[in-house]
Structure 1
Amino acid sequence: MLGHEAAEEQRLVRQAQEMTGEASWLFDQLDIPVGARARAFVAEHGLHNVELIIV
């Protein structure tokens, strides 16, 4: 499987950890309401029997 060697997995985990700060800052700048993507997914898929509980 592509990218499934232990060294590659460790590199990807380390990269994600290193980018956490920048990613958090970027999402704060986008000002996306909490649960917006989930609400859009539910609406787009016509999931009328789904209730979102956003904490």
Structure 2
Amino acid sequence: MKTTFFSEFMSAAKEAPRLYFAPLVGAGRAIKAEFRRVEEESAGKAPLAPTAKH
């Protein structure tokens, strides 16, 4: 199959939203994980472990 400019352009256009929103999706997942960790810690299921890396 011959790759054309148009096919490359369409492929990039389909990937652009994914690349643009990836940091937001990752941040949302991290926030959910942190809330889960805090809930478990407050319920006494797991000890509080630091998640921030300095």
TM interval, shorter chain, is 0.3 to 0.5
State which structure, 1 or 2, has the greater radius of gyration over its C-alpha atoms.
Answer: 2
**Under a length normalisation based on structure 1, what TM-score does the superposition of the two structures give?**
0.37
TM-score (norm 2): 0.37
**Greater length-normalized contact order (CA 8 Å, ≥ 6 residues apart):** 1
More helix by share: 2
